[in-house]
Amino acid sequence: MADGKFIWRDGQLVPWGDATVHVLSHALHYGSGVFEGIRAYRTEKGTAVFRLPDHMRRLHRSAEACRIPLEWTVEQLRAAAKEVLAANELDSGYIRPIAFYETGGLGVLPRNVRVVTMIAAWQWGAYLGDDGVRHGIRVKVSPWQRFGRATLPQAKVTGAYINSMLAKVDAVQAGYDEAIMLGNEGTVCEGTGENIFLVKGGVVHTPPLSAGCLDGITRDTVMTLLGEDGYRVVEQDFGREDLYQADELMLTGTAAEVTPVREVDDRPIGKGRPGPVTRRAQALYAELVSGRADEHGGWLDYI
């Protein structure tokens, strides 16, 4: 990642290199932070941030779930995110807000520990590679179970991402691009940083939130777009064997956008290349975020 110019930290733009934390920060020791990932796109009408208030609302929900007091409102965070893009002269990019317990005392109980909120932005290309977006990626069903009821699957908590990291490192070491994790009940849950969709017989399936997956904003977007396009979209649990028999599989997320899966555990999915529903989802998503769609203009927050 190349250095940017400024990072927003509790109401102020500080030079990128000065946005540091102390080694005794609570969040560093216990993972006590909540975060978001948001993308801004270049459009004909200027830069647009995709579903910005939805992301900031989820940040608030994550913080409330963890009882981390947030000092900034959704509106203030929304303005701050735009300020960060402008200060870094970015007309597109990835925005990373985080709120975490910093200094004031160690020990698991955060007593008198300051909460720091910051927002950074930088250029971030295809999360799973340009080649993955074009031809599909190879995934492995992970030996690591998704954390599920051991913590809060609906909250984007920093500490919980060690679960994702273990699965991701394992998959990449074994020569795959990404891991698919099963939830507490043994059904398919999600990728390490993406939701999952399965297409079978023209019907689009995605696990329900009860499977322990994140309530992804891209998941919601893709469900909406494919539904409007005439596809039947159902939230339904499915198992590992259903992955092997799928006609198409795709992963969705802010960073990953819509990424086709061409192989699971060395078994080709469908014809071993992205199928028509996945291609359609990619096209609809690209049209929407680049401001070329007729519907859902309200999801674009122009600067």
156 in active site: yes
- Tell me which of 4, 207, 253, 270 binds ligand PPE, using CB under 6 A: 253
Whole-angstrom distance, CA of residue 151 vs CA of residue 162: 12
Which residues ranging from 30 to 59 are in contact with ligand PPE (CB under 6 A)? 37
Q: Per-residue contact track with ligand PPE, 141 to 180, x per CB under 6 A?
A: -----------------------x----------------
Residue among 128 and 199 whose Cβ is closer to ligand PPE: 128
Does residue 93 bind ligand PPE (CB under 6 A)? no
Residues in the chain: 303
- Tell me which of 218, 259, 278, 282 binds ligand PPE, using CB under 6 A: 218
Whole-angstrom distance, CA of residue 160 vs CA of residue 168: 13
Host H or E run for residue 110: none
Tell me the three state secondary structure of residue 171. helix
Whole-angstrom distance, CA of residue 32 vs CA of residue 25: 10
Residue 230 exposed, middle or buried by CB count within 10 Å (0-12, 13-18, 19+): exposed
- Tell me which of 27, 49, 128, 217 binds ligand PPE, using CB under 6 A: 217
Whole-angstrom distance, CA of residue 73 vs CA of residue 91: 24
Whole-angstrom distance, CA of residue 26 vs CA of residue 229: 47
Residue among 183 and 193 whose Cβ is closer to ligand PPE: 193
Residue of 173, 256, 192 lying closest to 221 (CA atoms): 256
- Tell me which of 190, 197, 238, 270 binds ligand PPE, using CB under 6 A: 190
Whole-angstrom distance, CA of residue 140 vs CA of residue 303: 40
For the bound state, the minimum distance from the C-beta of residue 264 to ligand PPE, rounded and expressed in Å, comes to: 18
Residue among 96 and 262 whose Cβ is closer to ligand PPE: 96
For the bound state, the minimum distance from the C-beta of residue 193 to ligand PPE, rounded and expressed in Å, comes to: 4
For the bound state, the minimum distance from the C-beta of residue 254 to ligand PPE, rounded and expressed in Å, comes to: 3
> In angstroms, what CA-CA distances link 120 with 13, 39, 148?
10, 12, 29
Tell me the three state secondary structure of residue 150. helix
Pick the catalytic residue: 82, 140, 156, 168?
156
- Tell me which of 47, 187, 254, 278 binds ligand PPE, using CB under 6 A: 254
Whole-angstrom distance, CA of residue 233 vs CA of residue 23: 47
- Tell me which of 255, 286, 293, 303 binds ligand PPE, using CB under 6 A: 255
Residue among 70 and 256 whose Cβ is closer to ligand PPE: 256
State the residues that interact with ligand PPE by CB under 6 A: 37, 164, 190, 193-195, 214, 216-219, 252-256
Q: Give the residue numbers marked as catalytic.
A: 156
